[in-house]
A = this chain, B = another copy of it.
């Protein structure tokens, strides 16, 4: 509540400042704000208000704000600034952010981008350009080239002197990388060790040569896992020849972990939209979501075919239709539950492909427990409402078999997907539900015909 009030207050003072002619009071207000605070009200502002706020910010704050916005929004916003203004803001960005923003601008308006590139400091531009060759979801796309590298022959005193010079530009000076003359990574040295060392100690005597590094094409999920497992603050990135080309810092990885979790969650809900929800319009949401739904709806027509096939069974004992949603719905829920557990455990590497048999055996037993519990419930429920023992038995058995099958399908599909290089998260709760609707109906009608055969006419007892 307090937080919301603060945001409302900030928003109204911003609006008041925006309404005045000229920008002196706006600039004064912005000076008191942290870019993070601006970000909290950002999407409550109209597009033209955002443009005016950006133009009134000093380049440093504008750069920080910009780096937090999506690549889709950046070029639109920058259109409102003059090319000189854009250049000033871009030069304040970290090289990795600059590379991403230039890419986004290029896609949006190549001519304008050409103009801005010509105005940028050539040295800054060259560093950013060297980063664009890497995939955004790999270590190369995450890293910054602003690391500090030193030589093994330097003394602690020399390194400290060197640090004082380069400190303002480096992303972190707390880990120093020791490289040879070809830039190959030989060791790492922490500033902590450096300041406790005697000034004459050589880097070669202090450095740690057990280095864990990744290559530029290592997937960002693996980068995040290595940093998390080892509690690293920084991870060096090398090219295929072992030459140091950049570092990934733990704060970059924090965003990766959140983004990867969001991606998994969206996939598990069969709703991958790969854009901020707030910025998606209904037409986009429709297209992104319909692609999955169409697949599911078409698969679901199989349920019609199954029931249509056994229509005569239902024609004779109509009440059997009344149990369909309960039976197949429970199958879907059981399957979605276990798929959720398995997909997440595969994603966090708690489970690997080789664990499949262990999971199968565990879920077979869990499925039997669930099946028996719900089967007994189902049989009693039918007895109470219909008092027909044969129907009760048929429904009870169906429930047992559906629960066990659902458990095994939910446990197996994610492994099958992983086996064939598909993200297990694409199993999705809606996907499992759809599979179990079809499978559940097949089980139901086979059991009904088997148990209730004598109660049914000859025509319905066929396959």
Contact = CB atoms under 8 A, between A and B. Distances in A.
Nearest to A174: B174
A36 B229 contact: yes
A240 interface: no
Interface residues of A, number: 112
Interface stretch (A17-25, A77-85, A200-208, A296-304): A296-304
A192 B174 CA distance: 8
Interface string A280-323: 11110110011011001100110110011001001100110111
B254 A293 contact: no
A388 interface: no
A327 to B, nearest CB: 9
A195 interface: yes
A66 to B, nearest CB: 14
Interface string A189-218: 001100110000000000000000000000
A319 B167 CA distance: 76
Interface in A113-171: 160, 163-164, 167-168
A17 B274 CA distance: 49
Given A269-B341, A318-B315, A297 B277 contact: no
Given A304-B323, A341-B269, A354 B251 contact: no
A404 interface: no
- Specify how many copies of this chain sit in the oligomer: 2
A345 B277 contact: yes
Contacts of A339: 269
A268 B340 contact: yes
Identify which of A273, A285, A314, A370 gathers the most chain B CB atoms within 10 Å of its CB: A285
Contacts of A283: 369
Contacts of A323: 304
A440 to B, nearest CB: 9
Interface in A219-266: 224, 227-233, 250-251, 253-255, 257-258, 261-262, 264-266
Interface string A317-354: 01101111110111011101111111111001011111
B321 A307 contact: yes
Contacts of A264: 261, 265
A228 B250 contact: no
Contacts of A296: 329-330, 333
Contact of A385 (B231, B300, B308, B358): B308
Interface stretch (A50-58, A99-107, A430-438): A430-438
B230 A36 contact: yes
A65 B427 CA distance: 34
A276 interface: yes
Given A250-B251, A321-B324, 15 more contacts: A36-B230, A168-B196, A250-B250, A262-B348, A268-B340, A268-B429, A271-B337, A278-B350, A286-B366, A300-B330, A308-B385, A314-B314, A321-B321, A329-B434, A332-B430
Interface of A: 4, 36, 39, 160, 163-164, 167-168, 173-174, 191-192, 195-196, 224, 227-233, 250-251, 253-255, 257-258, 261-262, 264-266, 268-271, 273, 276-278, 280-283, 285-286, 289-290, 292-293, 296-297, 300-301, 303-304, 307-308, 311, 314-315, 318-319, 321-326, 328-330, 332-334, 336-345, 348, 350-355, 358, 362-363, 365-366, 369-370, 373-374, 377, 381, 385, 429-430, 433-434, 437, 441
5 contacts: A168-B196, A232-B251, A271-B336, A307-B324, A337-B430
5 closest Cβ pairs, A-B complex:
A269-B340, A261-B261, A307-B322, A429-B429, A282-B365
